[in-house]
Structure 1
Amino acid sequence: MRLSRGLVAVVSGLLLAVSGCTSSDPGSPDSSAASTTPAAPEAEEIAWSDCDEQIQSVIAGTPGSERDILFECGSTQVPITYAEPQGEKLTIFLVRARLATQTDRIGSLVINPGGPGGSGADAAIQRALTMPENVLNRFDLVGFDPRGVGLSTPAVECVPDELKDRVLAAEPRPVSDEQLDDSFALAQEVVDGCTDEYGDALGTFNTTDTARDLDLLREGLGDEQLTFLGWSYGTTLGSTYAELFPDRVRALALDAAVDPDNDPQADAEASAAGLEAGFDAFAANCTSLVAGCPIGAEPRRFVDELLAQAAQAPIPSARAGETRQATPGVVLTAVQAGLYNTSAWPQLAQGLAAARNGDAQGLFSLADAYNGRLQDGTYSNLIDANLAVTCADRDPDTQLAEDEIRALAADWGQRYPLFGAGSAASLYTCSGWEAERTPLPARDAAGAAPILVVGNTGDPVTPLPGAEDMAADLTSAVLLVWQGLGHTSYPKTGCVNDVVNAYLVDLVVPADGATCPL
């Protein structure tokens, strides 16, 4: 789940306001951490400081900024490896938002926006402006940057900005041997850079240890049990927490679940199929507009022709100072970014139309936001952290050979014309990863309080079967289905909001399989 670039930069500027943020060398994690139950470390005190003035100055005029919200920034330390809980530490950065009129406080609602690699601190600021007020009236809203992410230190930073630009511009649908050779070489260059920078310490940045960090944060926040809301990858983190600490769950709302039953190949194919369906929904909406669709009566044909145009002559941008030109990689990344939320569909259609006429400014805006590229040409560490966490979590036994990936690229390129070949090529990403792996545990969370899983029939990123599988796997889970469009469901529609709010606040659990209309 991608969030705005602006607030990432704002939160970065708040680091000076936070006491006790010091970097540590993550060192080399003990491979026994995933297979043993180490002695539980004690939570360290969270050092809070007032950063309200800085945040308020930036969000002024943003919808929701009229709310009387107080912001604090915080930091605390957690073990680098839970096999040595008294050993070296790393620093976790947090933002807490609280309504000044809050009454009958229940505790903290901790959130994770997805990714992996999304900034929870940034999400806390944004969600404080959009979350239903009856939830904010009862909870402090707390977001944290997981280990390796954002302002938590050390943050994973091992992919140079120039290389990220090349990744963004690369061929998005590699099917020929030459194209796949180039794709594999680029992925290996990224992995080699991270290996040179961190070595085996890359294994530190895994979801299982982040879930253990989350339990220390719960304790540091003063909550006996955790109330958590996670979107997309946040459902993986939340369900992992429930597996490790089932008795410490008060409420877990898991929206747009990443399918816990899929191996990387099945996950990549589901992603390709979901994005194709998402594009079809975007196209149908665009062609139904009374004012007419900016990209004509055949949006898929329009995009195919635009990709061919960009391949022959990359498209310039009219933005002052922009020297890049939009290759097919930029075009298709922008399309993928625009499918995440229906609110971005008009921007996507206008951006595609403008690009056809020689100005790729709108497409760069979408693609850059998706990848965490700032206007000055630098990037957040979203890509670096996403890579590190994804590969640290992945079971090496699931890695496909190059010839298998080439065969899938050819097959999926036919079955999923826009996104299939790229999804297949992405399966090479962790091929050269030599750091320790901590594969995600099987998750049934036996003994946990009721868990709410929310799925969306039109989610192009995490299709509904993922939510169905997660709800089936978690012993105490119930499934809520929204017959909606776009990635994630809460808080977007009254019916879903009412169910999730009642669950978070009053622990009211809906009937399993309850449905909300579009």
Structure 2
Amino acid sequence: MRRRTVSVTVALLALLLSGCTAPTVRWVSPTSGRPSASASATGGFQVSPPAWRSCLDEADKVLQGQRPRGIGYDCATVQVPQDWSHPDPAKSFHLSLVRVRSQDQTGRIGSLLVNPGGPGGSGVDLAMYLSAQLPDDVLNRFDVIGFDPRGVDRSDPVKCFADADMDAYFAFDPDPVAQADFDAFVALNKKMATGCQTKYGDELPLFSTEQAARDMDGIRQSLGEQKLTYLGFSYGTLLGATYAQLFPKNIRAFVLDGAVDPTQQAIASAEGQAKGFSHAFDEFAAWCKGNAAQCPAGPDAKATLTAALDKGRKAPLTAADGRKLTAGWILLGTFEALYSQRLWPVLAQGLAGATGNDPKRILQLSDEYAERDPNGHYGNMIDVFNTVSCDDDASGETTTQARSLQSRWRSQYPVFGTSLAMGIVSCAVWPAKRDPFPTGKAVGAPPVVVVGTVNDPATPYEQTAKLATMLGVGHVVTWEGEGHTAYPQTTCIRAAVDAYLINLTVPPDGLRCPPK
């Protein structure tokens, strides 16, 4: 299945706050396309200023009672047109915002808009998490503004996948060999996609990345900012890149971390991710071999994963909630853990349990990925992910191609390749019209900082320079580390990004930061 991207910061803090020992993330399979409306066509629609209200209770809920001192949290809702190319006051979406403001703020520069990725990640949650993570120099100079993009969580959420269908989707074998099993997976995807089309009709294509980028400029207007300062992770880099092309002269400073190459077709993107996750698992396996005391999965982690998947196919364990620990759930949890080294001990425990008699740990990882709660209910991240990804995707892949790639990638990228080939199915059967995003230069924009991690499994490092080159104003900063996204993990990365955000000091192009 296609993997989505959410910043390490969000997932790490979510797990730490819940008592787990490590972080998580997600990723996206981007596609290229053409703009559906001119870069200046906002129809003269003006977004009203937000009516802020204190929302400490919401912050306490998100941060599980671990809200940092000296920070204020205000929430609001703003109204944007459903279709920016044809704004109609009678047809609008309501976007949920949060403003995180330090009580020690001095020399305020303005607002820092943030997005965690996905598509489907909550920017409201991210801003609240960042209140405990961003350097004081940044918190003291900016109001951190998080927003849930159209269709996400608190912003008129897209919800069209039934919980039972979601369970079936994730439990499905990631490598269905028999044609009947492959056809059943295609049928499930068609059922889910048709449900979305039936529920939302002509609105479905309006959840595209381009429309969301235009929302960002509406938010800028509502905040009274002449220029926008933005920090986007993972899919948030694609959103930021789209904005940069549509509104290049409205940019103050943009940091795009965990870069997505907008020009890359879906198949090439999926293959890059197959390579990336295969490499990430090799690194995990090497860690297990050299750290036996910390790795209950044993010295040969690849053999342990293979044994777990085999068991999931032939004799799956039964979890406390009655679920069968199928190969699908096991691989999903493995994907989740490979986004960050700090999740490796949890993965080791999960694989050991999956080959033994304890499904709890691996299901904890897979449920975090899937946004599945203990009662079997799902958030709407997957609904949004499929909707936005497929709205954006005009590359025309087919289920026949997915079947062919499944066979080819089984040998080229054992374990992970077939799942990524199967991910092509979701958009191949998507019934709605498409609204691809632009893939050109950000003519007239100031320098944009594009951050890439050398061993990023989700958005492979090669995409970093491609995004910078496509925009024409990108300046690459490299973190020679492991995992997905870099800021604010090390001193070198923090120093480069903070100086740019605060003082507009552009880091030397090609700057490389060590792993620690």
Q: Normalization by structure 2: what TM-score?
A: 0.91
Written as runs of structure 1 = structure 2, the 5 A alignment for 1:112-127 is: 112-127=115-130
Aligned equivalent of 2:238:
236
**In the alignment, does 2:107 pair up with 1:104?**
yes
* CA distance in structure 2 between the aligned counterparts of 1:195 and 1:262, rounded to whole angstroms: 27
Unaligned runs of 5+ in 1: 11-30
The one of the two structures with greater contact order (alpha-carbon pairs below 8 A, sep at least 6) is 2
* CA distance in structure 1 between the aligned counterparts of 2:82 and 2:263, rounded to whole angstroms: 29
* CA distance in structure 1 between the aligned counterparts of 2:458 and 2:246, rounded to whole angstroms: 27
Aligned equivalent of 2:328:
329
* CA distance in structure 1 between the aligned counterparts of 2:367 and 2:38, rounded to whole angstroms: 36
The structure 2 residue matched to 1:256, chosen from 252, 255, 258, is 258
**In the alignment, does 2:126 pair up with 1:152?**
no
**Code of the aligned partner of 1:434:** P
* CA distance in structure 1 between the aligned counterparts of 2:191 and 2:199, rounded to whole angstroms: 12
Aligned equivalent of 2:78:
76
* CA distance in structure 1 between the aligned counterparts of 2:116 and 2:315, rounded to whole angstroms: 37
* CA distance in structure 2 between the aligned counterparts of 1:119 and 1:382, rounded to whole angstroms: 9
CA 1:172–1:108 in 2, change beyond 3 Å: closer, same or farther? Answer: same
* CA distance in structure 2 between the aligned counterparts of 1:296 and 1:495, rounded to whole angstroms: 35
**Aligned partner of residue 118 in structure 2, secondary structure:** coil
Aligned equivalent of 1:498:
495
* CA distance in structure 2 between the aligned counterparts of 1:307 and 1:290, rounded to whole angstroms: 22
Aligned equivalent of 1:23:
none
Aligned equivalent of 2:212:
210
CA 1:418–1:251 in 2, change beyond 3 Å: closer, same or farther? Answer: same
CA 1:409–1:74 in 2, change beyond 3 Å: closer, same or farther? Answer: same
Contact 2:39 2:247 in 1 (8 A): no
Aligned equivalent of 1:27:
none
**Code of the aligned partner of 2:355:** R
* CA distance in structure 2 between the aligned counterparts of 1:341 and 1:308, rounded to whole angstroms: 25
**In the alignment, does 2:50 pair up with 1:46?**
yes
Aligned equivalent of 1:245:
247
Aligned equivalent of 2:275:
273
* CA distance in structure 1 between the aligned counterparts of 2:105 and 2:175, rounded to whole angstroms: 51
* CA distance in structure 2 between the aligned counterparts of 1:516 and 1:194, rounded to whole angstroms: 44
**In the alignment, does 2:454 pair up with 1:451?**
no
Q: Normalization by structure 1: what TM-score?
A: 0.91
- CA deviations on 1:74-99 (whole Å, 9 max, x unpaired) are 10000011122243211000111111
Cα distance, 1:179 vs structure 2: 3.0
Contact 1:502 1:508 in 2 (8 A): yes
**In the alignment, does 2:347 pair up with 1:344?**
no
**Code of the aligned partner of 1:436:** K
* CA distance in structure 2 between the aligned counterparts of 1:453 and 1:435, rounded to whole angstroms: 32
**In the alignment, does 2:420 pair up with 1:423?**
yes
Aligned equivalent of 2:437:
440
Contact 2:36 2:437 in 1 (8 A): no
**Aligned partner of residue 158 in structure 2, secondary structure:** coil
Aligned equivalent of 1:474:
471
Unaligned runs of 5+ in 2: 18-34
**In the alignment, does 2:97 pair up with 1:94?**
yes
* CA distance in structure 2 between the aligned counterparts of 1:84 and 1:427, rounded to whole angstroms: 31
**Code of the aligned partner of 2:116:** P
Cα distance, 1:49 vs structure 2: 1.1
**Code of the aligned partner of 1:178:** A
**Code of the aligned partner of 1:162:** A
**Aligned partner of residue 237 in structure 1, secondary structure:** helix
CA 1:58–1:111 in 2, change beyond 3 Å: closer, same or farther? Answer: closer
Contact 1:5 1:373 in 2 (8 A): no
* CA distance in structure 2 between the aligned counterparts of 1:350 and 1:146, rounded to whole angstroms: 35
* CA distance in structure 2 between the aligned counterparts of 1:35 and 1:144, rounded to whole angstroms: 22
Contact 1:239 1:443 in 2 (8 A): no
* CA distance in structure 2 between the aligned counterparts of 1:413 and 1:34, rounded to whole angstroms: 42
Cα distance, 1:6 vs structure 2: 9.9
CA 1:210–1:58 in 2, change beyond 3 Å: closer, same or farther? Answer: closer
Aligned equivalent of 2:481:
484
**Aligned partner of residue 111 in structure 2, secondary structure:** strand
**Aligned partner of residue 509 in structure 1, secondary structure:** coil
- CA deviations on 1:315-360 (whole Å, 9 max, x unpaired) are 1235xxx221211000000000001111111111111112222111
Cα distance, 1:111 vs structure 2: 0.5
Written as runs of structure 1 = structure 2, the 5 A alignment for 1:125-140 is: 125-140=128-143
Cα distance, 1:258 vs structure 2: 1.1
Contact 1:278 1:460 in 2 (8 A): yes
* CA distance in structure 2 between the aligned counterparts of 1:490 and 1:289, rounded to whole angstroms: 27
Contact 1:467 1:479 in 2 (8 A): yes
CA 1:58–1:496 in 2, change beyond 3 Å: closer, same or farther? Answer: closer
CA 1:458–1:7 in 2, change beyond 3 Å: closer, same or farther? Answer: closer
CA 1:37–1:60 in 2, change beyond 3 Å: closer, same or farther? Answer: closer
Cα distance, 1:183 vs structure 2: 1.9
* CA distance in structure 1 between the aligned counterparts of 2:279 and 2:438, rounded to whole angstroms: 30
Aligned residues: 489
CA 1:513–1:56 in 2, change beyond 3 Å: closer, same or farther? Answer: same
**Code of the aligned partner of 1:379:** Y
* CA distance in structure 2 between the aligned counterparts of 1:170 and 1:130, rounded to whole angstroms: 37
**In the alignment, does 2:330 pair up with 1:365?**
no
Cα distance, 1:432 vs structure 2: 2.6
* CA distance in structure 2 between the aligned counterparts of 1:179 and 1:507, rounded to whole angstroms: 54
Contact 1:294 1:349 in 2 (8 A): yes
Cα distance, 1:134 vs structure 2: 1.1
Identity of aligned residues (%): 40
Cα distance, 1:223 vs structure 2: 1.1
